[in-house]
Amino acid sequence: MKQIETCQNCGSKYELTSVRIHHREKDSLFCIVCGFEYYIYNDAKSWYDKLIERHENHLGSKSKII
Ligand SMILES: [Zn+2]
């Protein structure tokens, strides 16, 4: 199963691929562009992400990062 997620901080897009695992796992994925924790999951799946579209909206004038 695949799905597309967008980092809410910088706008980069990732293609996520899930792999079924036997135990319930809580984990999260971090954006490699800005470091934002853009996807948090808690189920019997493990997710692997692949950057498909790089955006750097967080570097723009609207950035709230200090
Ligand atoms: Zn990001």
The reply to whether 16 falls in a domain is yes
Query: Cα separation of 31 and 28, whole Å?
Result: 10
Tell me the CA–centroid distance for residue 47 and ligand 1, in Å. Answer: 17
**Full domain range(s) for residue 33:** 2-59
Task: Summarize the confidence of residues 1-17 as an average pLDDT.
Answer: 96
The reply to whether 23 falls in a domain is yes
Indicate the SS3 state at residue 8: coil
- For residue 62, pLDDT over 80 is answered with no
User: How far, rounded to the nearest angstrom, does the alpha carbon of residue 35 sit from its chain's CA centroid?
Assistant: 9
For the chain, what is the mean pLDDT?
Answer: 91
Please provide residue 59's backbone torsions phi and psi, each rounded to the nearest 5 degrees: -90, -5
Task: Summarize the confidence of residues 28-34 as an average pLDDT.
Answer: 97
The reply to whether 64 falls in a domain is no
Query: Cα separation of 59 and 64, whole Å?
Result: 9
Tokens 């924790």 belong to which residue?
Answer: 37
- By the CB criterion, residues less than 5 angstroms from ion ligand 1 are 7, 9-10, 12, 31, 33-34, 36
User: How many structural domains compose the chain?
Assistant: 1
Tell me the CA–centroid distance for residue 24 and ligand 1, in Å. Answer: 26
Task: Summarize the confidence of residues 16-43 as an average pLDDT.
Answer: 94
Query: Cα separation of 41 and 34, whole Å?
Result: 19
51-61: pLDDT as tens digits: 999 999 999 86
The reply to whether 13 falls in a domain is yes
